[in-house]
A and B are shown apart, each in its own frame.
Chain A
Amino acid sequence: MAVTQEHPPVALGNTPRDLHDEAAESTRLISPLEIFRIAWEGILRNKIRSLLTMLGVIIGVAAVIVMIAISAGTEATIADQIKGLGANLLFIQASFGRGGPGGNETGPMLTYDDVAIVAGINGVVGTSVEMPTNQPVKANGTTLTDVQLVGTTPDYPSVREVSLADGRFLNEQDMDRKTKVAVLGAGVAQEIFGDADPIGQSITVDNVKLTVVGVMADKGVVGNTDFDARVYVPITLVYSRFVPSQFARFVGDRVQLIFAQIDENANLDDVKTQIQLKLASSKGISVSELPFTMQTQDDIIETQGAATEAFRNLLAWVAGVSLIVGGIGIMNIMLVSVTERTREIGIRQSVGATPNDIRLQFLAEALMLSLVGGLIGIAAGVAGAILFGATSDMRTVIVPGSIVLAFASAAAIGVFFGFYPANKAAQLDPIDALRHE
């Protein structure tokens, strides 16, 4: 066997100066590219272990994305439903205790006469009103107790963009004559009459017999209101037959809610101010004493958003915890890996790897594991959110910010939980490491 390499004579010129320079240069880092290459080779050398390590991060990242998609979907659904109930609506709602249900009945209140004043304001293109009372409904041998009897006006379907399934809605004649007619919500009609035609049938409310003239289309629950569990009657009939309190006679016909449909081109703030000024002057009180609040649909969506925020936060916490569990998984496997690879660390040290080289190698490995896990988690999360939206009743909306958040968290977790094992590897003594079996 002949050594064929023609190498130059052994470098003897290792003057003391040279050694000093080398010692000084030893604190320099090897190139980051090289570190990542070493780390990547380490990951590939143990594919199964790497995949298991990443699993926690994959699940955590996917959970963050799916959870946020679900809560965003829920919010979007609520917003759509609120938007779906009439366009450009201003909700003028009686203040609690000021004519609202169960409130005291002294002082100024929102009344039926106010509807005409609101309707007369420039920029208001339509109005309707709601005066709900809870009354048991008897018909066909059944008694429904959870029905809301809502006094309203003929404009209601157009203002709130709800439609009829059958028959007609209330008309002006019903208002004038306080006709004993009722329009049933889809759920009420179904519960009382089943598949039979309810038009022309009668129902009894508080000993008053009402003729069914129409049935509303299916609408479901929006916000806190179950539109299918309502019975609409002329508001004038409510005042004459179903007044909730005798006191009402002395203070006028109060309403709980006035809807004002605003012209698209009108300035919303101007209209609001006009309503406040006109109603205040008609009641002879100052604007600050007005017994009602005004909200737009956006305001209501925002209020609903505050309610769903708690839900969203809960989901975020659950997802966050699973990410942390994933990070602990990385730390766990990395610690095992450091022990398993003690010999490798010793070999690297013997050929000149510094503690910092070893530390960076393991940190880079942890970082890459969590980043690759994060990427797979993003794919799984997006796919999961789409699949969940497609197969369940709940809508999902993928939020780009959640992807960024999940990915950044995965990276941070990789570095954080990789640090301890990497440090442990860096502190190994080369002699012990080389001797390790």
Chain B
Amino acid sequence: MVPIIQTEGLRKIYEMGSVQVKALDGVDIRIDVGEFVAVMGSSGSGKSTLMNILGCLDRPTEGQYFLAGEDVSGLNKVQLAAIRNRQLGFIFQSFNLLARTSALRNVMLPLVYKRNGRGLSTDEREERAMAALEAVGLADRADHEPNELSGGQRQRVAIARALVNDPALIMADEPTGNLDTRTGEEIMEILHDLHARGRTIVMVTHEPHIAAQTQRTITMVDGRIATADAQEEEPQWQ
């Protein structure tokens, strides 16, 4: 089967005056469909840069990135935006919901920028956004604005938004980082459920016990992959 993510010799070099900083220095990763993978690493290890490139928010200086078999490393800004819209769902540490905008409208946001195939009517969008909110158990909060929701609820709205366009890959950046332990576990439960239903999830975290819940952990050190061990044991969350 075609891997969902495959990179070859990924390099990202920043020019800081006369100094070259190698944020990524030759990264080869393969993530298969349906995998739940954690990315760890200290700050400055290059894990953010890697996530930005895997999330099609940034382009590598060198190397190739195949997303679902297609080389996306050469696409321009506009093309990358379309890939993000259709293939990727983001979950952020700080939720990144639009303020003063209802949960439903927040979840509808990716549908607004959907332009492949026939467009959706407003009714169809609301229906799909509502279904996504139902999936995270927040249908009764559809009219609430982010400031009327708890942290856990906000992150669930963000997950609904990530799901609404039925993406191939979900990118989660420290999804439990701003939440207390109990709420964090709730969010992890949702991610596990999504994984159980066949979703591919790549999650950045700095908490080993969160990373331990995934199938395998990729650890970044100085712009390279230190370990990409498959975790033999069953995930401990169950």
Question: Which A residues have a C-beta under 8 Å from some C-beta of B?
Answer: 1-5, 7-12, 14-16, 19-23, 25-28, 30-31, 34, 38, 41, 45, 343-344, 346-357, 430-431, 434
In the bound complex, what is the Cα–Cα distance between A30 and B132 (angstroms)?
Answer: 22
In the bound complex, what is the Cα–Cα distance between A31 and B115 (angstroms)?
Answer: 9
> Which residues of the other chain, B, contact A347 by a CB distance below 8 angstroms?
96-98, 109
Known: A14-B168, A15-B69, A351-B109. Contact between A5 and B131, CB under 8 A?
A: yes
In the bound complex, what is the Cα–Cα distance between A344 and B99 (angstroms)?
Answer: 8
The reply to whether B166 and A45 contact each other, CB–CB distance below 8 Å, is no
In the bound complex, what is the Cα–Cα distance between A22 and B161 (angstroms)?
Answer: 20
The reply to whether A8 and B166 contact each other, CB–CB distance below 8 Å, is yes
Q: Which of A3, A11, A31, A348 has the most CB of B within 10 A?
A: A3
Could you jot down 18 A-B contacts, CB within 8 Å? A1-B189, A3-B193, A4-B137, A5-B132, A7-B197, A10-B33, A19-B72, A19-B83, A23-B83, A25-B115, A30-B112, A346-B96, A351-B161, A354-B113, A356-B78, A431-B52, A434-B57, A434-B96
Closest-CB distance, B193 to chain A (whole angstroms): 4
> Which residues of the other chain, B, contact A7 by a CB distance below 8 angstroms?
135, 163, 166, 197
By beta carbon, the residue of chain B nearest A46 is B100
The answer, among B101, B113, B197, for a CB contact under 8 Å with A352, is B113
> Which residues of the other chain, A, contact B189 by a CB distance below 8 angstroms?
1
> Which residues of the other chain, A, contact B100 by a CB distance below 8 angstroms?
45
In the bound complex, what is the Cα–Cα distance between A38 and B200 (angstroms)?
Answer: 31
Could you list 9 further interchain pairs (A-B, Cβ under 8 angstroms) beyond the known A5-B163, A22-B82, A45-B101?
A: A4-B135, A5-B131, A10-B168, A23-B82, A28-B115, A348-B113, A350-B55, A352-B165, A355-B77
By beta carbon, the residue of chain B nearest A29 is B115
The reply to whether A351 and B131 contact each other, CB–CB distance below 8 Å, is no
Known: A9-B198, A22-B83, A38-B112. Contact between A3 and B69, CB under 8 A?
A: no
The verdict on B79 contacting chain A, using a C-beta distance below 8 Å, is yes
The reply to whether A354 and B77 contact each other, CB–CB distance below 8 Å, is yes
Q: Which of B55, B109, B132, B190 has the most CB of A within 10 A?
A: B109
Closest-CB distance, B21 to chain A (whole angstroms): 15
> Which residues of the other chain, B, contact A5 by a CB distance below 8 angstroms?
131-132, 134-135, 163
By beta carbon, the residue of chain B nearest A35 is B112
In the bound complex, what is the Cα–Cα distance between A41 and B57 (angstroms)?
Answer: 26
By beta carbon, the residue of chain B nearest A430 is B57
> Which residues of the other chain, A, contact B135 by a CB distance below 8 angstroms?
3-5, 7
> Which residues of the other chain, B, contact A4 by a CB distance below 8 angstroms?
134-135, 137
In the bound complex, what is the Cα–Cα distance between A8 and B194 (angstroms)?
Answer: 12
> Which residues of the other chain, A, contact B92 by a CB distance below 8 angstroms?
434
The reply to whether B79 and A351 contact each other, CB–CB distance below 8 Å, is no
The verdict on B70 contacting chain A, using a C-beta distance below 8 Å, is yes
The reply to whether A26 and B79 contact each other, CB–CB distance below 8 Å, is yes
By beta carbon, the residue of chain A nearest B162 is A351
The verdict on B151 contacting chain A, using a C-beta distance below 8 Å, is no
> Which residues of the other chain, A, contact B86 by a CB distance below 8 angstroms?
22, 352
Give how many B residues have a beta carbon under 8 Å from the other chain's beta carbons.
60
In the bound complex, what is the Cα–Cα distance between A185 and B90 (angstroms)?
Answer: 89
> Which residues of the other chain, B, contact A15 by a CB distance below 8 angstroms?
69
By beta carbon, the residue of chain B nearest A21 is B116
In the bound complex, what is the Cα–Cα distance between A2 and B190 (angstroms)?
Answer: 7
> Which residues of the other chain, B, contact A45 by a CB distance below 8 angstroms?
99-101
The reply to whether B84 and A350 contact each other, CB–CB distance below 8 Å, is yes
The reply to whether A10 and B116 contact each other, CB–CB distance below 8 Å, is no
> Which residues of the other chain, B, contact A346 by a CB distance below 8 angstroms?
96
In the bound complex, what is the Cα–Cα distance between A9 and B198 (angstroms)?
Answer: 7
Known: A3-B194, A11-B166. Contact between A350 and B78, CB under 8 A?
A: no
Known: A21-B116, A34-B112, A351-B161. Contact between A11 and B168, CB under 8 A?
A: yes
> Which residues of the other chain, B, contact A11 by a CB distance below 8 angstroms?
166, 168
In the bound complex, what is the Cα–Cα distance between A356 and B55 (angstroms)?
Answer: 20
**Interface hits, B49-83 → A, CB 8 Å:** 52, 55, 57-58, 67-70, 72, 75, 77-79, 81-83
Known: A343-B96, A346-B96. Contact between A12 and B193, CB under 8 A?
A: no
By beta carbon, the residue of chain B nearest A350 is B90
In the bound complex, what is the Cα–Cα distance between A356 and B131 (angstroms)?
Answer: 29
In the bound complex, what is the Cα–Cα distance between A4 and B194 (angstroms)?
Answer: 10
Top 8 closest pairs, chain A to chain B, by CB: A352-B85, A5-B135, A26-B82, A23-B79, A352-B113, A14-B68, A3-B193, A19-B70
> Which residues of the other chain, A, contact B77 by a CB distance below 8 angstroms?
354-355
The reply to whether B119 and A31 contact each other, CB–CB distance below 8 Å, is yes
> Which residues of the other chain, B, contact A350 by a CB distance below 8 angstroms?
55, 57, 84, 90, 96
In the bound complex, what is the Cα–Cα distance between A34 and B70 (angstroms)?
Answer: 31
The reply to whether B193 and A2 contact each other, CB–CB distance below 8 Å, is yes
The reply to whether B112 and A26 contact each other, CB–CB distance below 8 Å, is no
The verdict on B110 contacting chain A, using a C-beta distance below 8 Å, is yes
> Which residues of the other chain, B, contact A28 by a CB distance below 8 angstroms?
115
The answer, among B90, B101, B110, B113, for a CB contact under 8 Å with A41, is B101
In the bound complex, what is the Cα–Cα distance between A227 and B128 (angstroms)?
Answer: 81
By beta carbon, the residue of chain A nearest B34 is A10
> Which residues of the other chain, B, contact A8 by a CB distance below 8 angstroms?
166
> Which residues of the other chain, B, contact A30 by a CB distance below 8 angstroms?
112-113, 115, 119
The reply to whether B84 and A27 contact each other, CB–CB distance below 8 Å, is no
The reply to whether A348 and B78 contact each other, CB–CB distance below 8 Å, is no
Closest-CB distance, A97 to chain B (whole angstroms): 76
**Interface hits, B85-130 → A, CB 8 Å:** 85-87, 90, 92, 96-101, 105, 109-110, 112-116, 119
The verdict on B31 contacting chain A, using a C-beta distance below 8 Å, is no
